[in-house]
Amino acid sequence: MKSFFRPGAMAALLSVTDMAVAQQSPFSIASNSDIKKTAATVAWDMLQYYHGNESGQTPGILPGPPPAGDYYWWEGGAMWGTLIDYWYLTNDSTYNDLIMQAIQWQTGPDDDFQPPNVTLSLGNDDQGFWGMTAMLAAEEKFPNPPADKPGWLALAQGVFNTQASPERHDGTCGGGIRWQIPPTNPGYSYKNSIANGCFFNLGARLARYTGNTTYSDWAEKTWDWMVQIGFLDNSTYAIYDGADVSNNCTQINKAEFSYNSAVWVLGTAYMYNHTNSAVWKTRLQKLVDHGLETFFPNGIAYEPSCEGVNTCTTDMVSFKGYLHRWYATTTQLAPFLAPKILPILKTSAQAAVKQCTGGALGRQCGIKWNTGKYDGRTGAGQEMNVVGAVSSLLIGQAHVPVTNSTGGTSQGNPNAGSKPNSFQRPLTPVTAGDRAGAGIVTIVIIGSLCTGLAWMSLGP
């Protein structure tokens, strides 16, 4: 196929399920060259679901939220994090301008990832995913924004500070932050492991990057609360989903999801790397042992709470990518775990590409990696999973995430996030200038894609 199609133009064609087109995957991970080519192709495929760089569209987000489209705001932030990792691991800068524009567009008026227009679906976990993507950009030395834009470190600090605000913490269930931020949102009465996991993860990473003990103190406090309330089982190291404050979080939903494991494993790896503490080493080992047993049966990534019964939501089908990416990064921060983790990630990545045989072009990816067959369901999350799994195979060649004393250059702002409820500002309509900006970026990105992807066959 030709590379002159813009992202989004082929989405309708590529969503066609044609199981007869190809039963043999066109992808290979046999060599570093094959890994890079496969990751590049699937990254292109993933972006067919993105329209934010088209005239009249909103940069940074995938189509949604429901019923306007399949995707909630947070998954756009997750996708840009996937592409930052892709750049970091493959050295392919094709999408860097797109990433830069998309993230900066969604920072909100106070540079803390609280855009007023997403109030109706704004959760602490949603904001946390965007904050972790900004933190990733600082750690992996992604090109810094222009001087008049907030730095990656400052954005991560803004998210952390809003979530550390007393307004986000209350006495229900003995502490912790809630799933949703506005009290009017469904789910405000729920406290869960992913919202607190994002907060813990950011605290651990900011502590390592800046050396400021305020961040590590919060990470310690959040870990202790998770154990105390029972969301983190201190004997099995299972991480359960959460509970409602109406019963003081005593009736715990014990569903286990891979992204909960991944976000806590990665945060714990940062705490271990930062402190060199035997306590954090033991915690990390036990989390990883449970995670590998639970989420990689037979060495292949699996979502136990939904996959077997076909109840995975659009959110859930994207979890395997975070599992692969964050377990891979863990091996950089805790190299003693590399012999245990990396062979499993390779086996799982091989299974992932094997089932990418769907769609009109015979290379669309599904969610069920353990069957060896395309399952007929695809989307941005499924493609994102495979980008993360495949590109992470190059983790051994990448530099360890930096700090401000080991080469980090990102501009910080320890006082960012001074308005934890800034999302309550009135909605601002999309202007003609906004549309024009998206259109200009479209032209720039299409030009770079035509140059950088001329060798590839197009597709999701």
Average pLDDT rounded to a whole number, residues 344-368: 97
**CATH 1.50.10.20 given to domain 11-403+431-452:** yes
At position 129, the amino acid (one-letter code) is F
**Nearest Cα residue to 47 out of 85, 80, 21:** 80
What is the pTM (predicted TM-score) of this model? 0.88
Task: Determine which of 296-310, 334-348, 416-430 has the lowest per-residue pLDDT on average.
Answer: 416-430
| Alpha carbon distance 138, 150 (integer Å) | 12
Which phi and psi angles does 192 have, rounded to 5°?
Answer: -145, 170
Which phi and psi angles does 243 have, rounded to 5°?
Answer: -160, 165
Number of neighbouring beta carbons within 10 Å of residue 201: 30
Beta bridge partners of 190: 244
Beta bridge partners of 253: 242
For 244-279, the pLDDT digits (tens) are 999 999 999 999 999 999 999 999 999 999 999 999
Q: In terms of DSSP bridges, do strands 190-192 and 242-244 run parallel, antiparallel, or are they unpaired? A: antiparallel
pLDDT at 424: 59
pLDDT at 438: 41
| Alpha carbon distance 385, 390 (integer Å) | 9
**Residue 429 pLDDT more than 70?**
no
At position 14, the amino acid (one-letter code) is L
Q: Which residues contact residue 145 at a Cβ distance below 8 angstroms, ignoring those fewer than 6 apart?
A: 100, 104, 151, 152
- The label of the residue with tokens 């990418």 reads 356
pLDDT at 18: 40
**Residue 195 pLDDT more than 50?**
yes
Number of neighbouring beta carbons within 10 Å of residue 205: 30
pLDDT at 423: 60
Average pLDDT rounded to a whole number, residues 141-155: 97
| Alpha carbon distance 447, 6 (integer Å) | 9
Find the angle CA(372)-CA(377)-CA(378) to the nearest 5 degrees.
95
| Alpha carbon distance 219, 267 (integer Å) | 9
What residue segments make up the domains of the chain, in order of their start? 11-403+431-452
| Alpha carbon distance 97, 84 (integer Å) | 11
Confidence of residue 418 (pLDDT cuts 50, 70, 90): confident
**Residue 444 pLDDT more than 80?**
no
| Alpha carbon distance 208, 345 (integer Å) | 26
> Could you give the C-alpha distances from 346 to 299, 331, 395, in angstroms and in order?
9, 13, 11
